[in-house]
Amino acid sequence: MKIISITKAFSLAQKARKNQNIQAVQAIIRQVEKSGDSALFRFEKKLNGVNLKSLLVSKKEITNAYKLVTKDQIDAITEAKKRLTKTESALKRKLGKITIKTDGTKITKSFEPLDKVGCYVPGGLARYPSSAIMSVVPAKLAGVKSIIVVTPPNKQGKIDPMVLVAADICGANMIFKVGGAHAIAALAFGTKSISKVDKIVGPGGAFVTTAKHLVANAASIDMLAGPTELVILADDSADPKLVALDLVSQAEHSSDTKCQLITTSSILANKVNSEIATLASTISRKEIIQSSLKENGFIAIGKLSDAILLANKIAPEHIQIMTKNPRKVAQKIKTAGLVLIGKNTPSAASDYLLGTNHILPTNQFGRSRGSLSVLDFLKIQTRIESSKPDLQKINKHLKTLTQSENLPNHYGAVRKRI
């Protein structure tokens, strides 16, 4: 990884990801909107080399999937579901009905589940049963009636059995063998096989993320969630081997991940680089890791105060705090999707079993939102009932405001009632 000053790193942080996929993704979306299922079959063959006979995963395929996974794998899925359920259930319990009374007007606000959602589970370079857990569990807890999972098939037209089992255990209603930008378009506009959904959630690569952005006028989306980002903020107390392992663990997702170290110690910086060089020659997925760290990674050195400023400027998906007083530093991080505190809270563990959701905002969207949660599958429903006496009470002020905005018919509609 290149070693630079924090001052230089600030200029790099200003540069947003270049999106070179917009025109290609727009073309895919238009084809799916126009041709529906036939476009999905065509794109699976063209882009993924798969000849599909059916998009929907059958009940028999799901039953067979259970025969292809081990008890340990099922136990791991169940444990991840249990821990995430505990977190999301605690959040949902806080979301009670609210009633506000002002004179003769009564307002109620309640949290109502969405009717139908689409959960994108990535595939391709790796399999992600964990992403099925992270998206389906909060949707189910929110009370969503119809949870549709879309995920890319392999070259034989099959879905990874662990993904199928995870989606089934967590409560998905339907699973479809389709991935990429065309899957997002299908969820947004609907096809003969795949129903149009109210909201699309889940992480994905550059094409999927672009597609979510482009269809947001047709279906709500959770966030732009991908590719992966990790910043580690460390001082001379950090273990260079652990820092290197954590950077490598996120870099292995894909070559377009962004994994960076910000440190106050030049000694640590050099040791981490040395550890990465040693690891990169022996570990699996080394080509992806080497490409990611070389093209998108850096180690920035400077004062702790500047390191905190830089971390907030980058606004990464994950930030790990590995300093002498990590809790104190963590309180100053305001823009990350997820803040992991201390040497024993690696992002790799949070991706699976710590009870937090690993579907997180990227592209600096951590400035305005956090992880996927039960909140993403609920809408605030507002109901209001007023009375004639209350309309009389606000009459004078209503007249003033409507006249100020030159909308006299607004006032006329109320005046008739009083």
Of 229, 318, 358, 397, which one is the catalytic site residue?
A: 318
| Cβ contacts of 358 within 8 Å, gap of 6 or more | 130, 131, 134, 203, 350, 351, 352, 371
CA 195 to CA 331: how far, in whole Å? 43
Integer Rg of the chain from CA: 25
d(CA 43, CA 352): 31
Cα first-last separation, the chain: 73
- Return all residues near 223 (Cβ < 8 A) that are at least 6 apart: 359, 360, 361, 362, 365, 369, 372
Q: What angle do CA 125, 129, 131 make, to 5 degrees?
A: 85
Q: Is 318 a catalytic residue?
A: yes
Query: Phi then psi for 177, rounded to 5 degrees?
Result: -90, 80
In whole angstroms, what is the distance from residue 338 CA to residue 335 CA? Answer: 9
Provide the b/e sequence for 43-80 (b: ≥16 CB within 10 Å).
bbeeebebebeebebeeebbeebeeebeeeeeebbeeb
Catalytic residue list contains 182:
no
CA 236, distance to chain mean position in Å, is 32
Annotated active-site residue in 317, 358, 385, 405: 317
Q: 161: which 2 tokens?
A: 């059995």
| Separation between Cα atoms, residue 121 and residue 318, nearest integer Å | 20
- For CA atoms 345, 347, 349, 352, give the dihedral sign: positive
Main-chain phi, psi angles of 14, to 5 degrees: -70, -25
**Cα separation, 309 vs 100, whole angstroms:** 41
Residues 6+ apart with CB under 8 A from 413: none
The two most distant CA atoms of the chain are separated, in Å, by 81
Specify the residue for token string 């563990």. 349
**Tokens found for residue 65:** 């999937």
Residues forming the active site: 317-318
